[in-house]
Chain A
Amino acid sequence: MQRIFKALVAALWFMVLCAPIMGLLLLPDGTASFRWQRLAVLGTGIFFASLLWQWYFEKKERGERLFGGKAQAEEPVHRESLLRNKSFQRISLACVCAFMIAMPFIPGINSIYQITIWISALIYVMLALGLNIIVGLAGQLVLGYAAFYAIGAYTYGLLYQFFGLGFWVCLPIAGIVTVLCGLALGFPVLRLRGDYLAIVTLGFGEIVRLVLINWDSVTNGARGVSGIPRPALFGCPMNMQWSTTYLYYMSFLAVVVTIVVITRLKNSRVGLALQAMREDEIASEAMGINLTQVKLTAFALSSAWAGFAGVLFAAKTSFINPSSFTFWESAMMLSMVVLGGMGSILGVTLGALILVLAPEYLRAFADYRMLLFGATMVVMMIFRPQGLVTGERRHYRISALERKGD
């Protein structure tokens, strides 16, 4: 009875909230008509959704699984062991690589349009992995990551426009410039944490965007920079299909390099220090970790990756303007990290691919894109707040145990 009452309240509440948007129809002659029917449908829907919701949570509280019986404690261990199984890892890795390499030649999905989508997915994988350093590993909530992406892209765009520098020269320069910008942001925010850091970095992102818009004489303002060339391959001229394919392979290579670098970083002494800082700043300092140094390292590395991705992006679109680097971009990148599982390299890669590719391949639902995105995030936060992939752990070899084993 109480459940039904709760569901009724929820339904009524929703109907009141949505009444102006869903119920009212303003007619051109200045009058309004009320669409009761729609509201009724909404109310009924919410009523049943709420019942379902309560049923699930009562079950969850009792420690049962969604379908059938008690949850078993061994289950997650089992799933983890599949992920940790060496041969399973190798086979799936080989399959993914084979697909990625063959992709531009698979008939049906190798149009320029499709390849371009995959290039942008790969660029986002790079971005998400770069953001993962500072957010997932170091635990610093950065909300203005698109700023570094923009700085990287504009470094290439402007250096080309004013000095005619090419892609390969600009790539390291963009890296250096974004590292410096990362440090410039890192120094003043060293003492900030959590929400405060998020707000300051959000502000930083907006400042960069506004500078790009308003510094007209250099950045061309909202008109942006156009005619940015794609990278050259030993000076050979290429047609559109080939240069797109070439860029695709370069992005793929960049992602592979990123994954190798970040895996090594994560498993290194510096990576452990980053994670310790995420877990407990005071304790990590008391264990001899120089927080200033470690935090700045995280900022520098993370922003460098956005810089590289920015250069790739500029090369891909050949036209950049400030509207490509709004807060929305930063929010998307953060969503990729959170959806995939903070700190998990596999998870973040998946998160980025899902969030970029799903909207492209689910065009049928294009109208509901934002709704689906929001719903996915909400559902994830409730049922799997730790993200898609968790428990990714390094395997250590212990000499003492191995000697015993022999």
Chain B
Amino acid sequence: MEAVLEVKDLIQDFGGLRALNEVDLTINKKEIVALIGPNGAGKTTFFNCITGIYTPTSGTMFLRTPDGAAHALNGMKTHQITALGMARTFQNIRLFPEMTVLENVMIGRHCHTKAGILQALLRDRATVAEEQDTVDRSYALLETVHLAEYWDETAKNLPYGAQRRLEIARAMATEPCLLLLDEPAAGMNPQETLELKRLILSLRETHDLAVLLIEHDMSMVMSLSDRIYVMQYGSPIASGTPEEISKNPEVIKAYLGESGNA
């Protein structure tokens, strides 16, 4: 199996606090991997490190693009990492609230379109065609997340669950090979969670996508993921298939010993 993402010995310090402590994590092609752990374990921090929002204290991170080349992510800017093929959603939704639903997705096409200032002013045929292509592809993505009918709505007016799906559509517009989802089911009802699960599975098939998922909904994690990593206080304490994890005594201890909010 080819690894899409390979992270070794990742350490992130915030002053005296070690938020990530020698984290190793590998994601293979088309794999759905879950990252679980109590609140404050460092899961979101891990996302922020590999997407270039934080600069890790030490460690190496590699992303393999579909053409087979491995790229070191250390020192790369967030937008460059996105252009390589890693897209994410945010734990506390970060849409562009005043823009329309369609425009939100169109922004995701930014790194796959080219028109600059001059083209914007001249509006030559190629630019108009590129723009129409952006619009149509974005609309098609809205259809896959069942938001097509809201395309002209202002993003902030969408209900919560729909906003989460819009974030996924926006991330998919960047044509990622690895999708990072930070608590995508948070605040969703069981029906919506079920649909979300179907959506993630179908995206994997249609887009050859690998997914790294932070989630607290255990039934979703267990039924969806191929492998699970468990973190506590910034350290990885276990990894394996859902069955292995559910039997792992250390994990059970961590979860029962904690507040059990997972």
Which residues of chain B from 89 to 147 have a CB within 8 Å of any chain A CB? 90, 94-100, 102-103, 106-108, 110-111, 113-117, 119-121, 123, 127, 130-132, 134-136, 139-140, 143
- Which of B23-31, B75-83, B204-212, B242-250 is the interface stretch? B75-83
- Please indicate the chain B residues that have their CB under 8 angstroms from the CB of A265 in the complex: 117, 120-121
Q: Which residues of A contact B82 (CB under 8 A)?
A: 285-288
- Chain A contacts of B94 at CB under 8 A? 280, 282-283, 286
Decide if B252 is an interface residue (CB 8 Å cutoff): no
Asked if residues B115 and A288 are in contact (CB atoms below 8 Å), the reply is: no
CA distance A276 to B110 in the complex (A): 11
Beta-carbon contact of B98 and A279 below 8 Å: yes
A300 to chain B, nearest CB (A): 9
B87 in contact (CB, < 8 A): yes
For this complex, 11 residue pairs linking A to B, each with C-beta atoms less than 8 Å apart, are A269-B115, A270-B116, A272-B99, A272-B103, A272-B106, A276-B107, A287-B171, A288-B79, A291-B79, A396-B135, A401-B139
Closest Cβ–Cβ distance, residue A390 to chain B (whole Å): 10
Complex: A197 Cα to B23 Cα, angstroms:
38
Task: Write out the residue numbers on chain A whose beta carbons fall within 8 Å of the beta carbon of B87.
Answer: 286-287
Q: Is B174 an interface residue (CB 8 A)?
A: yes
CA distance A393 to B99 in the complex (A): 9
A274 CA to B79 CA, complexed, in Å = 15
C-alpha spacing A398/B149, complex, angstroms:
12
- The reply to whether A283 and B117 form a contact with Cβ atoms under 8 Å apart is no
Q: Determine whether B88 belongs to the interface, using a CB cutoff of 8 Å to chain A.
A: yes
B113 engages A289 (CB within 8 Å): no
Given contacts A272-B107, A279-B96, A282-B53, are A290 and B77 in contact (CB under 8 A)? yes
Give every chain B residue within 8 A of A290 (Cβ-Cβ): 77, 79
Q: Are B97 and A279 in contact (CB under 8 A)?
A: yes
Cβ–Cβ contact A268 & B151, under 8 A: no
A264 adjacent to B123 (CB under 8 Å) = yes
Contact call B117/A301, Cβ cutoff below 8 A: yes
Determine if B53 and A289 form an interchain contact, defined as CB atoms under 8 angstroms apart.
no
Of all chain A residues, the one with the shortest Cβ separation from B52 is: A285
Chain A interface residue bracket vs B: 20 to 34
A90 interface residue, CB < 8 Å from B? no
Question: Which of A270, A272, A285, A398 makes the CB contact (< 8 A) with B78?
Answer: A285
* A375-405 contacts to B (CB < 8 Å): 393, 396-401
When C-beta atoms are compared, the residue in chain B nearest to A265 turns out to be B120
Q: Give min CB distance, B145 to chain A, whole Å.
A: 15
Dominant secondary structure of chain A at its interface with chain B: helix
Q: Does B107 contact A268, Cβ atoms closer than 8 Å? A: no
Evaluate contact between B96 and A288: CB separation under 8 angstroms: no
Query: In the docked arrangement, what's the CA distance between A272 and B123, Å?
Result: 15
Bound-state CA distance A264–B118 (Å) is 10
User: In whole angstroms, how far apart are the Cα atoms of A265 and B123 in the complex?
Assistant: 10
A273 CB-CB contact with B under 8 Å: yes
Q: A286-B51, A287-B170, A398-B151 are in contact. Are A268 and B120 (CB under 8 A)?
A: yes
Residue of A nearest to B51 (CB): A286
The answer to whether B139 and A400 have CB atoms under 8 Å apart is yes
Whether A297 is near chain B, meaning CB under 8 Å from some CB there, is yes
B175 to chain A, nearest CB (A): 10
Closest Cβ of chain A: how far from B130's Cβ, in Å?
A: 8
With contact pairs A284-B96, A285-B79 given, residues A269 and B174 touching in the complex (Cβ less than 8 Å): no
**Closest CB pairs A-B (n = 3):** A268-B120, A288-B111, A279-B96
CB <8 Å contact, B115 and A268 = yes
Measured CB to CB, the closest approach of chain B to A297, in angstroms, equals 7
Which chain B residues lie closer than 8 Å to A399 at the CB level?
Answer: 132, 135-136
Q: Which residues of B contact A286 (CB under 8 A)?
A: 51, 53, 78-79, 82, 87-88, 90, 94
Tell me if A175 is interfacial: C-beta within 8 Å of chain B. no
Whether, in the assembled complex, A349 has its beta carbon less than 8 Å from a beta carbon of chain B, the answer is no
Known: A269-B110, A286-B82; 7 extra A-B contacts, CB below 8 A, are A269-B131, A270-B120, A272-B103, A275-B98, A275-B103, A284-B96, A286-B78
CB distance from B90 to the nearest CB of A (A): 7
Residues of A286-332 whose CB lies within 8 A of B: 286-291, 297, 301
The reply on A236 being an interface residue by CB < 8 A is no
Residue in B82, B88, B96, B108 with the greatest tally of chain A CB atoms within 10 Å: B96
CA A265 to CA B53, docked complex, whole Å: 29
Docked complex Cα distance between A25 and B258 (Å): 73
Give min CB distance, B191 to chain A, whole Å: 27
Cβ of B247 to closest chain A Cβ, rounded Å: 36
| Assembled-state Cα–Cα distance A291/B152 (Å) | 26
A283 and B120 in contact (CB under 8 A), knowing A396-B102, A398-B139, A399-B132? no
User: B111–A276 contact, CB under 8 A?
Assistant: no
Instruction: Select one of A273, A288, A397, A398 contacting B174, CB under 8 A.
Output: A288
Nearest Cβ in chain A — how far from B166, in angstroms?
12
Nearest CB of chain B from residue A142's CB, rounded to whole Å: 19
Given A270-B115, A287-B108, do A276 and B99 touch, yes or no (CB 8 Å)? yes
